[in-house]
Homo-oligomer: A and B are copies of this chain.
């Protein structure tokens, strides 16, 4: 079992009000690099900041790391267009940071990165792979990519109030400036990603396509961005068993998720980490994690996949305490 985190950036995230994956817009660009370090080391190393939402909700990477400490699985970070240095080791498949999707041709590296990630995935010796993503602004690019494939599914948001109108305006701009119209990239997923998407979608879909072709089982750990990855994989003509493992917070936010996964021959599993407290969970105070129960963040950095692994191992009730332990270590070096 190996967990792969595809970490990258799109400048689409710099638009005001689109993402909660950082305390400020200036800090968003560091989030994927920091998430990669937290997954790898349980601490930031080169990244200057521990990612939190504007109101202090901790990054889902802390949850994924906590589960990793509980279960001891391998984790590998793939560079899906990082824009800031990371101290985490990364696999390169030729992705570069994505430009704003309002620009023409914002992800020129997408076809090459898709192909390289696919070949890499085919060669992996693991029997099971969990794949997740970290890219601020990624639900907006995922919405545009789904539409380019001719699919109409809503995407979630890291904000408690999904800025749907703003997203629609950005996606509209993307199609205006690009060479493709909605539905026109149905059989060319790498072009959907190139013209209206982001580099993480290119790398993750290539990786998953190749991994399935190599007969490794794949669990997509995440929400509607990983749904877009599943759609891209199916539009590339790749069959094989796929599971989307997401959080209850995400599933509650997107009731269409069951239909959307079924439409792509993807099994859906939903895990509730119990950060809101309640029956069946350890009595530990979830502290800042209670923001998840209020609809902040919801998913990301393979959190849903990690929670599924914890539940499968019968250790879901240890996740809150383990995550609080990771957070305490993260805070301890932020200084007074």
Tell me whether A124 and B41 are in contact (CB under 8 A): yes
Q: What's the least CB distance linking A144 to chain B, in Å?
A: 29
**Inter-chain contact A88/B91, CB cutoff 8 Å:** yes
Tell me the bound Cα distance from A91 to B78 in angstroms: 12
Is there contact, CB below 8 Å, between B87 and A123? yes
**Which residues from B are CB-within-8-Å of A90?**
89-91
Determine the chain B residues whose CB is within 8 A of the CB of A92 once the complex forms. 85
From residue A6, how far is it (CB to closest CB) to chain B in Å? Answer: 12
Chain B residues contacting A141 (CB-CB under 8 Å) are none
The chain B residue with its CB closest to the CB of A40 is B76
A124 touches B45 (CB 8 A): yes
Return chain B residues, CB-CB under 8 Å to A42.
125
What is the 8 Å Cβ interface bit string for chain A, positions 199-224, against chain B (1 contact, 0 not)? 00000000000000000000000000
> How far is it, in angstroms, between the C-alpha of A77 and the C-alpha of B91 when the chains are bound?
11
Interface size class of A (residues with CB under 8 A): 20 to 34
Q: Is the CB of A89 within 8 A of B76?
A: yes
Query: Quick check: B87 and A46 within 8 Å, CB to CB?
Result: no
B46 near A329 with CB under 8 A, answer: no
Indicate if A126 sits at the interface (CB-CB under 8 A). Answer: yes
Instruction: Tell me the nearest residue of chain B to A332, going by C-beta.
Output: B125
Q: Do residues A89 and B91 form an inter-chain contact, with CB atoms below 8 A?
A: yes
Q: Which residues of B contact A241 (CB under 8 A)?
A: none
Q: How far is the CB of A45 from chain B (nearest CB, A)?
A: 4
Task: List, in ascending order, chain B residues with CB within 8 A of A91's CB.
Answer: 87-90
Q: Are A46 and B124 in contact (CB under 8 A)?
A: no
- Which residues of A line the B interface, CB within 8 A? 40-46, 72, 74, 76-78, 85, 87-92, 120, 123-126, 329
CB distance from A260 to the nearest CB of B (A): 31
The 7 nearest A-B residue pairs measured at CB: A89-B89, A43-B125, A45-B123, A89-B91, A89-B90, A76-B89, A41-B125
Which chain B residue has the least Cβ–Cβ distance from A85?
B92
Can you offer 8 A-B residue contacts whose CB atoms are under 8 A?
Answer: A41-B124, A41-B126, A42-B125, A45-B120, A46-B123, A87-B91, A88-B89, A89-B91
State how many angstroms separate the Cβ of A84 from the closest Cβ of chain B. 13
C-alpha gap A85/B120 in the complex (Å) = 11
Smallest CB gap from A86: residue in B: B91
Chain B residue nearest in CB terms to A89: B89
Q: How far is the CA of A53 from the CA of B46 in the complex (A)?
A: 38
List chain B residues, Cβ under 8 A from A40: 74, 76
